[in-house]
Chains A and B, each alone.
Chain A
Amino acid sequence: EAGVTQSPTHLIKTRGQQATLRCSPISGHTSVYWYQQALGLGLQFLLWYDEGEERNRGNFPPRFSGRQFPNYSSELNVNALELEDSALYLCASSLGAVKWETQYFGPGTRLLVL
């Protein structure tokens, strides 16, 4: 069974640009979660999608946005990139909206903002 996949693995942008990160959940999983893991910090919850709807978002500015497609894959968009957005962005999926405890994580996209 294929795990959670993310693309691209690495992304280099300059300040002010936009970044788009993609995530494909495990087959059958309907919930997708996005996290930011900055160097030296814990995982910070960004967004949660389930059945195509945004269920919750963490304490991040509106320039962090995303969507979930009918096939449950998801996209994270970061507009007006700032240097401090440099981090590892992790996507996770779970079987249904109440299965937080069994999230399966992807390998992440490492975003570098210059």
Chain B
Amino acid sequence: EDQVTQSPEALRLQEGESSSLNCSYTVSGLRGLFWYRQDPGKGPEFLFTLYSAGEEKEKERLKATLTKKESFLHITAPKPEDSATYLCAVQPTSGGSYIPTFGRGTSLIVHP
């Protein structure tokens, strides 16, 4: 069974204080790992897809990295508008349906 564990569950940062969110996963075969941002009362917003170990992607203050067991979402010099819940999901290669498994998310609050 595919599993995704995100840590920490909640993270409070001061504006400008860089940190990382972790997504540990077990999957029979990885087709892709996704990161989403979810604001309160809204649906998730797609951020990144990573396909293979060693891959990195960046967007503004966010950088996602991938190893064979985990992914990190690095947040550099965060701003209050980065406050949101960040979701990680893995998509397996098996079964042909590619249904993703989501983690419970990390709730990030950035204080000004």
Pairwise interchain contact A100-B91, C-beta atoms closer than 8 A: yes
Q: Are B100 and A45 in contact (CB under 8 A)?
A: yes
Contact A42 B102, CB 8 Å, known A55-B97, A56-B97, A101-B91 = yes
Complex Cα distance A44/B87, Å? 12
A103 interfacial contact with B, CB 8 Å: yes
B87→A42 contact, CB < 8 A: yes
- Nearest-CB residue, chain A, relative to B5: A42
B16 within 8 A of A: no
Is B42 part of the binding interface, using a Cβ–Cβ cutoff of 8 Å?
yes
Beyond A4-B43, A42-B87, A105-B45, whether A48 also contacts B105 by CB under 8 A is no
Whether a CB of chain B sits under 8 angstroms from the CB of A32 is no
Binding site for B on A (CB under 8 A): 4, 40-45, 48, 55-56, 58, 90-92, 98, 100-108
Q: B residues touching A (Cβ–Cβ < 8 Å)?
A: 4, 32, 34, 36, 41-46, 49, 87, 89, 91, 97-105
